[in-house]
Amino acid sequence: MMVDTSLPIAPDVLRRFDVPGPRYTSYPTADRFVEAFGPAQLVQALEQRAGGAGAVGGRAAPLSLYVHVPFCESVCYYCACNKIITRHHERATEYLDALEREVELYIGVLGREQPVSQLHLGGGTPTFLSDGELARLVGSLRRAFRLVPGGEYSIEVDPRTVSAERLSFLAGLGFNRISLGVQDFDPEVQKAVHRIQSFESVAGLIEQARRLGIESVNADLIYGLPRQTPGSFARTLDLISQLRPDRIALYGYAHLPTRFKPQRRIHADELPSGADKLAMLSGAIARFASAGYDYIGMDHFALHTDALAVAKRQGRLHRNFQGYSTQPDSDLIALGVSAIGRIGSTYSQNAKTLPEYYDALRQGQFPVVRGLALSRDDLVRRAVIMALMCQGHVSFESIELSYLIDFRHYFAAELGLLQDMAAQGLVRIETDGLTVSPAGWYVVRGIAMVFDKYLQAERNRERFSRII
């Protein structure tokens, strides 16, 4: 039977609105952070939380924790993450020492036993760490914080570094969610991006995860890689659909070799055309729909019964620096080099190099080198952008009651800019709110960009990936 690969949005409309733009894991975006925000400002935000600013019903609201492990044994040419390529595993010891010092700085202000409902280990390659090193890291976090029952505790897994036995060890540490970097199963594509891994290794890990009772398995895919064709990517889609991970993240490759050095090893003439990328996207959307996946938003899909899909239907979806989440919006403590955190109405980012990161901690200081204290306007716009990205709807009354504004007056210019998108059937401007249409979900970043004061002011977007 032929599968309908058509999109609910006309290709010419999609191409028109396929512009560079942020992914909005935060607003304002990280490129707006300033060096005037440093350790002293972070301490002030933490003290406000400790004084009750983060409390709900008289009790501290649960935290999220993010730990960045920057090390990788080999470079993947498409990668835009902050990583350190090394085969010297002994470097992990110094890094864990530093992480423990950073944790002590946080609990020195907040106190021990702060509740945590979400933990994510990212990178780099967290599974670069040995079992003993991972046990040490998780143990130090458990001694400092209280990981509450029913929380989301996830780790990014490179299938090349994890066996079925090792996955059992990770489950024993308390990880109940894993994210597998797949990208593409085609051997030629894998060679072109320097990431060779077999279908069998991924299949074995997913099978083992189910035996262990791991609650959710995510698989990352990338379209637009060198040597990919709509036909070759269709085979990858068929294979991943057979494995039925609970969630799938489908990213469009952004070729920015001037910003990301590893990408200079990719031959631009091997990249698929815009038309082929569009065919890959439409084929993926149709294939996942036929396999029982709901489209969550942007580049995320989840099985209809998965908690993420349920949260989307119930209007409980949230978005943070790790992407879409079912956990309530919460303060985020980010540990490790380059990690970005959020406390109250502030964002902070750690030093991007190990020498700077280590030096600050040796001096007994938070390794924060930049950040931002959000203005009232930032908070209003963040609420609108996150409502669009997560629920696909903005209630004028809800924003007005929360921030004491007249929505139509405050955002008169933005509503004017949306008229073109409304005429294209991407968004509905109603008497009581804005609603993203089924077609509009494919350019929801573009709709959100209308409310981004910084982007509208400068129009310099080339530092961002394109929407498609």
Q: Where in the chain is the domain with CATH 1.10.10.920?
A: 1-28+375-468
For the stretch 164-212, pLDDT in tens is 999 999 999 999 999 999 999 999 999 999 999 999 999 999 999 999 9
pLDDT of residue 459: 57
pLDDT of residue 461: 52
Q: Cite the annotated binding site for S-adenosyl-L-methionine by residue number.
A: 66, 78-80, 123-125, 156, 183, 195, 220, 254, 340
Cβ contacts of 132 within 8 Å, gap of 6 or more: none
Model confidence at 1, in pLDDT bands (50, 70, 90)? very low
Q: Cite the annotated binding site for [4Fe-4S] cluster by residue number.
A: 72, 76, 79
Model confidence at 468, in pLDDT bands (50, 70, 90)? low
Cβ contacts of 265 within 8 Å, gap of 6 or more: 77, 194
List, in sequence order, every residue forming a beta bridge with 211; answer none if it has no partner.
Answer: none
Are the C-beta atoms of residues 234 and 282 closer than 8 Å to each other?
A: no
Sign for the pseudo-dihedral over CA of 371, 377, 382, 385: negative
Q: Kindly tell me if the per-residue pLDDT of 147 is higher than 50.
A: yes
Q: Residues of 227-261 as b/e, b for ≥16 C-beta within 10 angstroms?
A: bbebebbbebbebbbebebbbbbbbbbbbeeeebe
In this prediction, what percent of the chain has a pLDDT beyond 70? 94
For residue 415, the tally of other CB atoms under 10 A from its CB is 17
Output the six-digit token pair for 68.
């960045």
Q: Kindly tell me if the per-residue pLDDT of 283 is higher than 60.
A: yes
Q: Kindly tell me if the per-residue pLDDT of 361 is higher than 80.
A: yes
The distance of Cα 124 from the centroid of its chain, to the nearest Å, equals 14
CATH node for 30-333: 3.80.30.20
Give the mean pLDDT of the chain: 91
Model confidence at 324, in pLDDT bands (50, 70, 90)? confident
What is the third-level CATH fold of 1-28+375-468?
A: Arc Repressor Mutant, subunit A (1.10.10)
Sign for the pseudo-dihedral over CA of 314, 320, 322, 323: positive
Q: Kindly tell me if the per-residue pLDDT of 303 is higher than 50.
A: yes
Q: Kindly tell me if the per-residue pLDDT of 275 is higher than 60.
A: yes
For the stretch 11-57, pLDDT in tens is 777 777 777 788 888 899 999 999 999 999 999 999 999 987 656 55
For the stretch 88-134, pLDDT in tens is 999 999 999 999 999 999 999 999 999 999 999 998 899 999 999 99
Kindly report which listed range (230-234, 283-287, 338-342, 382-386) carries the lowest average pLDDT score.
Answer: 283-287
Q: Where in the chain is the domain with CATH 3.80.30.20?
A: 30-333
Concatenated DSSP letters of 339-367 = -EEEETTEEEEE-SSHHHHHHHHHTTS--
Q: Cite the annotated binding site by residue number.
A: 66, 72, 76, 78-80, 123-125, 156, 183, 195, 220, 254, 340
437-449 average pLDDT score: 89
Cβ contacts of 320 within 8 Å, gap of 6 or more: 25, 26, 64, 329, 332, 342
pLDDT of residue 282: 84
